[in-house]
Structure 1
Amino acid sequence: MSHAKQQLSHFQSLPVIDIGGLFSPNEDERQAVAVQLGDAARNVGFFHIVGHGIDEDLRQALLDQARRFFAQPMETKMRHYIGLSAGNGTTRHRGYVPEGEEMPEKGKRDLKEAFDLAFELPADDPDVVAGIPMLGPNVWPELPGFREQVYAYYQVTYEVGLALMRGFALALGLPEEHFLKDVTKPPSQLRLIHYPFDPEAEDVQGIGAHTDYECFTLLLPTAPGLEVMNGQSEWIDVPYRDDALVINIGDMLEIWTNGEFVATSHRVRKVKEERYSFPLFFACDYATTVTPLPQLVERDGHARYEPLKAGDHLYAQTIHTFAYLQKCLASGEIQLPEGARDTATLGQHARHKGTERA
């Protein structure tokens, strides 16, 4: 029986991992953390990390700037509407996302607003000039300190992501730098998400059940509300910790590991209080072809996934989710990438479709 068949049983809680050892010059200390990362990725797919080194002042500055931005009048926020980043047959996909713009599950509009940014690339970068989607310079509002403080958080958290990528490689018995050759200028997106106060909310959807499209996600939340699905299709609350980031495995690592790591389905529910959430979706480069690692295919006896172009997958799923991209698609201004495909087999939410327990 393969690892993919054994994992994600009826876990009821999330591990907490101190990743400080990943930054140690001592290989044994890095390996000790990697063992914990591997266990969590195989058996739960979701876990807290502490010892990440992201300064509390930096996290607070990010929250303060998000509050300032979202408190502005709608007219001011819409000057940075994410749909304005589309043009010439592509999109940088950066800017303000008003409530209702996203629909990760058909027929269910998300009850949130957001501001999206990503890995900063100059307009004259060859990939930007070539019109590769999801790449380019960011959109920045004219708020004092917003660009400096928000992007400072992005850069520090991105470095934590690189450390985790090394740790995951070690957990799989690979050289530490194995995955980093495919992480040079990735479309790794940071989202500033605001859930408005709604005292009448009862079991209301905030973000619908989904897996994340990238390798993994580093989430800084400000309140409870996140739930994850275990292998028995039960929804488990993720407790809030103000000293931790929440990490979850995404689609690309599920494919790369031939299902040994599973992209864990999650959702946001029961949001009554005003809440902010800051996920950084750690991606590999757009042109990366993600295919199951040969040694894992040999162990399992077959490849459970066809090769997938990472950027095409991310772009296609983004098109399916955002209203402005749906309009561009309908008008013929953009097209679905050739490498796109249905990912209904990814994540346990898809595998248990229709059997979820509240």
Structure 2
Amino acid sequence: MTTEIVSSSAASLPVIDIAALVHPDADDAARAAVAHAMGSACREHGFFYIRHHGVPQDLIDRLHALSQAFFSWPEESKMQWRMALGGRAWRGYFKVGGELTSGLPDWKEGLYLGTELPATHPLVQAGTPVHGPNLFPELEGYREAILQYMEAVTQVGHRVMEGIALSLGLPVSYFSQRYTADPLVLFRIFNYPSMDVPAGVDAPWGVGEHTDYGLLTILYQDRIGGLSVHTPSGWVDAPPLPGTFVCNIGDMLDRMTGGLYKSTPHRVRRNTSGTDRLSFPLFFDPNFEARVRRIEGLAGAPARDDSSERWDKANVHAFNGRYGDYLLAKVSKVFPELKDEVL
């Protein structure tokens, strides 16, 4: 895998060194400094890069190479692991144009994955949506690389949420005690092919404008890039920076903080680079059964209906219930043909 160096000066979003959160021997002052930087980023942008996150580069490179190999297969071969076979677990492959954002197809293909649970697990036995075994393509080493990557980045999610807790003046364990001791982890491997959209297909974006659903998204993007973020000053690019992940907060953290930390709209340009583009978003979210509530006594949180300002005109602050309910309401719009299986 070749690496293209992009200067950090190309990024309009903050780059935060989280080593003090990753290493247990870091002192309180260093952790507080990281938390302060995260708080500023969450208030101003809802997006930031992280570096010194602890995920081995060779693991990222191995997953990248194996994913390139998988997506190079003919469509009929990839469809052996199609999402329809995953049922209520909401796992498997979807073809180019098979996922919708705001009713329009995204010009990408992908593999949906999540925490690996055997068919004998109580949650699977109970038919809990988005829980179950993954559909791993039969590619040597791919299953192991996916699971190792998910575990490593999930640990990053725990550390980042500790930093966000500190940034809000909360105990470091605030989110883990209430929401993420057993987080709902959903992982996607997306391929944005560099190919023309067929005549008659309305697919203007790689991914259309949207916000993420849960607490935190941790994204690896390869050297090609394409991510754009809607900041208060307008749309800005979030180019790939070597050795970093891009983090953004989701609707539930917006809800919990009363809008102090906003979930920020973002989108992905259609890939016209001449080379297929890969990205790996991991969604680190509340447990499916966790009931999402506003953080009590949080200073500076407006807790108002800001739906007129949101891209989708939705009022996330009106939601009161299980995180799983919020997620499933979104699922039915992303893959309408699968909603009867998932809901």
| TM-score in terms of structure 2 length | 0.86
| Number of the residue aligned with 2:287 | 285
2:98 is the alignment partner of 1:95: no
Give the letter for the 1:208 counterpart. Answer: G
**Structure 2 residue ranges without an equivalent (≥5):** 1-10, 306-316
C-alpha separation between the residues in 2 aligned to 1:236 and 1:299? 26
Aligned to 1:141: 137
Deviates more, 1:171-180 or 1:266-275: 266-275
Runs of 4+ that moved beyond 3 A: 298-304
What corresponds to 1:150 in structure 2? Answer: 146
How many angstroms apart in 2 are the aligned matches of 1:47 and 1:113?
26
Aligned partner of 1:178 in structure 2 is 174
1:178-211 Cα deviation digits (max 9, x unpaired):
111221333311111001113799x941100000
Q: Is the counterpart of residue 315 in structure 1 residue 331 in structure 2?
A: no
Which letter maps to 1:261? Y
Distance 2:167 2:140 in 1: 42
Q: Does structure 1 residue 250 correspond to structure 2 residue 250? A: yes
Of stretches 265-274 and 50-59 in structure 1, the one that deviates more from structure 2 is: 265-274
**SS across alignment from 1:176:** coil
From 104, 110, 124, the counterpart of 2:106? 110
Could you report, residue by residue, the CA deviation over 1:108-149 in whole angstroms, capped at 9, with x for unpaired residues?
A: 211110011111222222222111111112111211100011
- Alpha-carbon distance in 2 for matches of 1:322, 1:52: 33
Q: What is the distance in 2 between the residues matched to 1:27 and 1:279? A: 30
Match of 1:131 among 127, 148, 171: 127
| Deviation readout 1:46-70 (Å, 9 max, x if unpaired) | 1111111111101100101111111
* SS of 1:281 mapped into structure 2: strand
- Spell out, residue by residue over 1:249-292, the C-alpha distance to the aligned partner (whole angstroms, 9 max, x if none): 11111011111110010000142122111100111100111111
In structure 2, the residue matched to 1:41 is 42
Following superposition of structure 1 onto structure 2, how do residues 314-353 of structure 1 map, counting pairs within 5 Å? 314-326=327-339, 328=340, 335=343
- Structure 2 CA distance for aligned equivalents of residues 185 and 167 of structure 1: 18
Q: Which residue of 1 aligns with 2:15?
A: 16
| 1:343 corresponds to | none
Over aligned residues, Cα RMSD in angstroms?
2.0
Alignment partners' CA distance in 2, 1:75 and 1:200: 19
Q: Quick one: which amino acid aligns to residue 227 of structure 2?
A: L
Alignment equivalent of 1:165, drawn from 142, 161, 168: 161
Q: For the residues of structure 1 that align with 2:32 and 2:17, how far apart are their CA atoms?
A: 13
The residue correspondences of 1:149-298 to structure 2 (distance < 5 A) are: 149-181=145-177, 182-198=179-195, 204-222=204-222, 223-232=224-233, 234-273=234-273, 274-296=276-298
Determine if contact 2:22/2:54 at 8 Å carries over to the other structure. Answer: no
Deviation at 1:157, TM superposition (A): 0.6
Question: Residue in 1 aligned with 2:61?
Answer: 60
Q: Which moved more, 1:27-36 or 1:38-47?
A: 27-36
- The structure-2 alpha-carbon separation of the partners of 1:334 and 1:45, relative to structure 1 and needing over 3 Å to count, comes to closer
Contact 1:228–1:266 under 8 Å retained in 2: yes
2:207–2:270: 8 Å Cα contact kept in structure 1? no
Q: TM-score, normalised by structure 1?
A: 0.82
The alignment partner of 1:290 has SS state of coil
Secondary structure at 2:258 match in 1: coil
Native 8 Å contact 1:101 1:324 kept in 2 = no
Structure 1 residues 300 and 55: alpha-carbon distance in aligned structure 2, compared to 1, 3 A threshold = closer
Partner amino acid, structure 1, of 2:172: E
Distance in 2, Cα, partners of 1:199 & 1:102 = 17
Contact residue 119 and residue 185 of structure 1 kept, 8 A: no
**Could you say what secondary structure the match of 2:162 adopts?**
helix
What CA deviation, in whole Å up to 9, does each residue of 1:75-108 have, x standing for no partner? 221111011111xxxx1011101112211112x2
CA distance in 1, matches of 2:61, 2:342: 38
Q: Say which SS state the counterpart of residue 208 (structure 1) adopts.
A: strand
Question: Unpaired runs of 5+ in structure 1?
Answer: 1-11, 336-358
1:299 is displaced (CA, Å) by 5.3
Task: State the partner residue of 2:311.
Answer: none
Contact 1:61–1:150 (CA under 8 A) maintained in structure 2: no
Amino acid of the residue matched to residue 64 of structure 2? L
